Every structure is written in C-alpha cells, then in structure tokens.
C-alpha cells in the first residue's frame, strides 16, 4: 500500500469498515448487517466499473434507497438536473470530465447535498481539493459495500434531524411570535390571523387600541414572525420625550450639533436599520415632527441633526395609537397625509372588557410568568368577578392585580379575591354580581374543592395525613384531586394503600 493510500485510509476510512482492506462484492461473514435506512433516499451512483455498480446498487436498494446510475460525466450532470438526488456517489476517474466535475455541478445546484467521491488512485492533494470544493467524504478503493451503505444511512439520519430541526425552528418561531400574547376569543383570533398574514411583508402597520391592551406585544409579534426577525426591534414612545429631544432620539445628531453634543449619536431609526421600528403613542407626536417623519417614511432617508449627508434606511415601520387618528385629523392635531402613510394595514386591538372570556387564560399565563415556579389557583367565584370587571387599564391592570395577589399570598397557593381586587369603586358592582343565587351542587363543589386545598396546605401536601384529616380514604382523596384538576398526568395514582 502506498503512503498516500495509508494516509487516506486513516483519515477518510468509512465508519464500520476497513476502507483500504476490503473487497467489492457480497457480504463477508464478519461484515456488519445491512443497515436499512430510516430515511430512504434517492442516490446518484456515477460509476463506470460494472462490478461496483451491480454490487453497490444491490446493497443500497436492499437498504431501501432508490439508485440512479450514470456511467459517465455527461449523464451524471443530466441526472443531477432532472432528478435532484439526495446523495451523490461518484468515481473520480470516469468517462468525460470526471468526478470532480460531478462534484462541482452538484455543489452549484445544491450546496447542501452530500457528495462522496470514490477513487482507486487517490492522493493527499486530490483529497484536500475535493474537501475544499465541498465533498462530504473521500473514499479509497477497494471498499466494503456495507460501509458505503452505513455511511449513506448516517447521512439519512442527519438529513432527518436537519428536517426536524427546521420544523422545530419554525414551530419555535411561530410560538415566539405570540409569546406573552394570549387569547382564544374570536376577536383575538382575528388579530392573530392578521399578524400571520401581514408579518411576511414590509407593509407599514398601524395598531389601534386602548392603553394597556398590548399594542407593543402585537408589534413584537409582527417583527418576530417576519423575515426581519434576526434584525433589531427598536421601540420608542413618542409621548415619553419632549419635542426638543424627540428629533434627536429619532434621527440622532453629529458632534457639535448643539451645546451638549460632545460626540455623535445614532438615532432610533438608524439603530433599527434592517429591522423594525415601533413608534408607540404616535398620536402624541408634535405636528412639527410629523412633517419630518412623513418625509422619512416617503423617501426612506434622513439626516442627523447638524449633519449634511443624507442616510438611507431599510426598515419596517409599525406605529401605535391609543385614540382615533381620524378624529385627530378632523381636529387638526394630526396630519392627514401622515395618517394615510402609516395606516396601510390597520390592526384593531380590542379592550379586555370586550374579550372577557380570555381573562382565565391571561390569569394563568401571568401566574406562570410571575409565580416563580409555584402553582397558584384562583377560586371560581373570584374568577367570575375578574371576568365581570371592566378593566379600564386592560391587560396591564390585570397583570398588576395578579402580581399583587401573588406578592400578598404568603404560603397560600390560592389567590384570594380581596388580594386581586384593585382599589377601585367599580369592583363593588362586579362583586355584587357574584352574590347571585346559583345551583347548590355548583356552590358545594366549589366549597369542597377549597376545603380539600386548605387541608393539603395544612399537611404540606401529605396525602395520607390529608385523607385522615378529611375522614376519607386515600383513593377517594386522589379521585377528588383528579376531578378538581389538582393532578398532572399520572401523578399520584393510587398504589393500593387506600387507608
């Protein structure tokens, strides 16, 4: 064996086989069993040696793969273009331009497609060149067919994992896009559908909704579900800054632009380049600034304060308003031309009082977010009150109430109504509604659930002691905990000790 062959054998040996010492042909007694691929693939076998073609094709087909045969370079190129194979096995020395040409053509058509080169006349320089051009592996002849099959099976598993990872990334991307954005009501389903439709585009979006309704959540969801998701998301509140600072924050300034400008500063538009800029409370933007913003949105260009050069922008603009801009236009407080420039795709976000059915979902989400891993519950009578309350502060007010209740709960795992109630006289009307006469069975079930929960708290969750305290068997306790939704999966299934 030549020195080159020994090096190639060491560095490019196939898994499970002796790359340089085997023979082509039927399986030997000590050969590994044929590995049937979990991912059947279409394989292009570019080889002019009949013995290799027959035996290797049989082995690959036995493993479940489809094999396309090309006896020369020209036919290999044609099969690459016509059939788009998953893997290419190509001899380096074959009629025509040879296997390096097949490799180059495959990489040009699909850089991710694995190409395995086979040769009986390999050199170190040739192997290095093949790898540089994108070959997945370089195999020295003679080899064992089972080793090739095993290598292809490995490539199949890698392909399967890559597909699963892509699906998981897509699923995660969709999940992340709506993270913290909860709702199952018809109104919210409409919002979600609009986000999914508009997110892939660069259309300017105007989000309309009351304070605390989650407008920034919509903006972030649009960004996360868009092709710009890996670029910056920059938010600025037009109401939080005085007019004298707003222009500098939006567009930046050059050194010496004004007295305190000791160095240059990039503005929010410049920081958001390539991504999304979110202009919250655009209804509070001064008229003078609206003129400058209109020019930026029309031309996608701006100048820093004190600067002379014009800078280009590649951004997606999302704006939000808490009041009707149409009414502000009628009152002369908002420019009509700017309104039509930002109102390309409107998304109306309903207030929480119009989607009361989402309150239980939101409460559960907020408990998981702020509960520190502890499981809290809200009794049905308290939840009824939460659903009836008008929530003038919308989702933000509800979240504050849940955080306050968790902070005041101490060791208890049930959030009390008095802790959830905000200091607002409107609660008196909401709680009064909960005093209505309801079916006795429903009231007794709620009382029983609360009583069992308190007993579990007193015993620290010890079920035998809890059952004894309640005067019931462990099996009956388990059944009640199951009915009350206190168990997860098979947790705590009775083990025969029924007390």
End-to-end CA distance of the chain: 78
Whether residues 8 and 118 fall in one domain: yes
- Strands (E) in 296-398, as ranges, are 301-302, 311-312, 316-321, 345-348, 377-378
- Residue 493 in domain: no
Question: Global pTM?
Answer: 0.52
pLDDT at 18 over 70: no
For residue 319, the SS3 value is: strand
d(CA 68, CA 88): 10
| Residue 172 lies inside a defined structural domain of this protein | no
Tokens of 25: 């042909």
Positive or negative: CA dihedral 326, 332, 338, 340: positive
Q: How confident is the model over 273-321, as pLDDT tens digits?
A: 999 999 999 999 999 899 989 988 998 888 888 777 788 889 999 999 9
Q: Same structural domain for residues 129 and 258? A: no
Total Cβ atoms within 10 A of residue 306:
15
Q: How far apart are CA 288 and CA 281, in angstroms?
A: 16
Asked whether residue 38 is assigned to any structural domain, the reply reads yes
Same domain, 377 and 294: no
Q: Which domain holds residue 385?
A: 354-483
Q: Say whether both 307 and 218 belong to one domain.
A: yes
- Boundary-marking domain end, from 320, 350, 380: 350
The residue among 276, 236, 294, 278 whose CA lies nearest residue 302 is: 294
Strands 42-46 and 87-91: parallel
Does the residue 490 lie in any domain? no
CATH number (domain holding residue 220): 3.40.50.300
Last residue of a domain, one of 328, 350, 372: 350
Q: Encode pLDDT of 74-87 as tens digits.
A: 999 999 999 999 99
Dist CA 100 CA 132 (whole Å) = 11
pLDDT at 203: 95
Number of domains within the chain: 3
The residues, any chain, with a CB within 8 Å of residue 182's CB and separated by 6 or more, are 358, 361, 362, 365
Task: Examine the domain organization and report whether 295 and 218 are in the same domain.
Answer: yes
Domain match, 205 and 155 both = no
pLDDT band at 255 (very low <50, low <70, confident <90, very high): confident
Q: What is the pLDDT of residue 15?
A: 37
Same domain, 191 and 284: yes
Co-location of 194 and 312 in the same domain = yes
Same domain, 7 and 89: yes
CATH code assigned at 65: 3.40.50.2300
Please report whether residue 467 resides in a domain: yes
Q: DSSP letter at 307? A: -
Average pLDDT over the chain, rounded to an integer? 80
Q: Give residue-wise pLDDT tens across range 390-429.
A: 888 899 989 998 998 898 888 888 887 777 765 455 555 4
Same domain, 378 and 452: yes
Within 10 angstroms of residue 411's Cβ, the number of other Cβ atoms is 7
Q: Which of 376, 374, 430 is nearest to 405 (CA)?
A: 376
Are both 283 and 425 inside the same structural domain?
Answer: no
Q: Which is it for the CA torsion 323, 329, 331, 333, positive or negative?
A: positive
324 with 223, same domain: the answer is yes
The answer to whether position 50 is within a domain reads yes
Mean pLDDT of the 180-195 span: 83
217 is a domain residue: yes
Residue 468 within any structural domain of the chain: yes
CATH of residue 470: 1.10.8.60
Structure tokens at 146: 């089972």
C-alpha distances (whole Å) from 295 to each of 43, 80, 108, 237, 270 are: 56, 51, 44, 19, 15
pLDDT at 498 over 70: no
Among 350, 371, 395, residue at a domain's last position? 350
Encode 452-478: b = buried (16+ Cβ within 10 Å), e = exposed: bbebbeeeeeebeebbbebebbbeebb
């Amino acid at each position: 064996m030549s020195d080159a062959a020994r090096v190639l054998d060491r560095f490019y040996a196939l898994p499970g086989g002796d790359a340089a010492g085997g023979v082509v042909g039927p399986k030997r007694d000590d050969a590994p069993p044929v590995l049937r691929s979990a991912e059947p693939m279409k394989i292009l076998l570019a080889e002019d040696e009949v013995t290799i073609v027959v035996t290797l094709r049989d082995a690959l087909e036995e493993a479940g793969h489809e094999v396309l045969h090309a006896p020369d370079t020209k036919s290999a190129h044609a099969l690459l273009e016509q059939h788009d194979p998953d893997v290419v096995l190509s001899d380096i020395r074959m009629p025509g331009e040879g296997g390096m040409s097949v490799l180059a053509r495959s990489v040009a058509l699909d850089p991710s497609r694995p190409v395995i080169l086979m040769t009986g006349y390999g050199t170190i320089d040739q192997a290095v060149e093949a790898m540089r051009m994108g070959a997945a592996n370089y195999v020295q002849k003679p080899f064992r067919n089972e080793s090739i099959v095993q290598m292809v099976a490995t490539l199949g598993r890698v392909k399967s994992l890559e597909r699963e990872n892509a699906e998981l990334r897509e699923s995660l991307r969709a999940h992340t896009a709506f993270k913290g954005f909860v709702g199952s009501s018809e109104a919210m389903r409409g919002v979600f559908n609009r986000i999914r439709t508009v997110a892939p585009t660069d259309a300017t979006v105007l989000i309309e909704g009351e304070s605390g309704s989650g407008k920034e959540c919509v903006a972030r969801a649009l960004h996360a579900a868009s092709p710009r998701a890996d670029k910056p998301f920059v938010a600025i509140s037009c109401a939080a800054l005085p007019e004298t600072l707003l222009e500098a924050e939006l567009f930046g300034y050059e050194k010496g632009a004004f007295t305190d400008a000791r160095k240059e500063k990039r503005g929010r538009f410049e920081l958001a380049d390539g991504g999304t800029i979110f202009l919250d409370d655009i209804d509070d933007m001064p008229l003078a600034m609206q003129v400058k913003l209109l020019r930026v949105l029309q031309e996608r260009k701006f100048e820093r304060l004190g600067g002379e050069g014009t800078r280009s922008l590649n951004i997606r603009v999302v704006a939000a308003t808490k009041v009707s801009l149409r009414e502000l236009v009628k009152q002369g407080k908002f420019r009509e031309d700017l309104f039509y420039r930002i109102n390309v795709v409107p998304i109306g976000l309903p207030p929480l009082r119009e989607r009361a059915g989402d309150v239980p979902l939101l409460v559960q989400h907020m408990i998981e977010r702020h509960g520190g891993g502890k499981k809290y519950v809200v009794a049905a009578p308290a939840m009824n009150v939460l659903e009836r309350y008008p929530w003038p502060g919308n989702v933000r007010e509800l979240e504050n109430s849940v955080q306050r209740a968790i902070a005041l709960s101490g060791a208890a795992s049930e959030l009390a109504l008095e802790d959830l109630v905000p200091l607002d006289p409107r609660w008196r009307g909401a709680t009064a509604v909960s005093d209505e006469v309801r079916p006795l069975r429903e009231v007794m079930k709620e009382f029983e659930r609360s009583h069992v929960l308190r007993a579990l708290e007193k015993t620290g969750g010890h079920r035998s002691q809890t059952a004894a305290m309640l005067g019931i068997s462990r099996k009956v306790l388990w059944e009640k905990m199951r009915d009350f939704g206190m168990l997860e999966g098979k947790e705590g299934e009775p083990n025969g000790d029924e007390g």
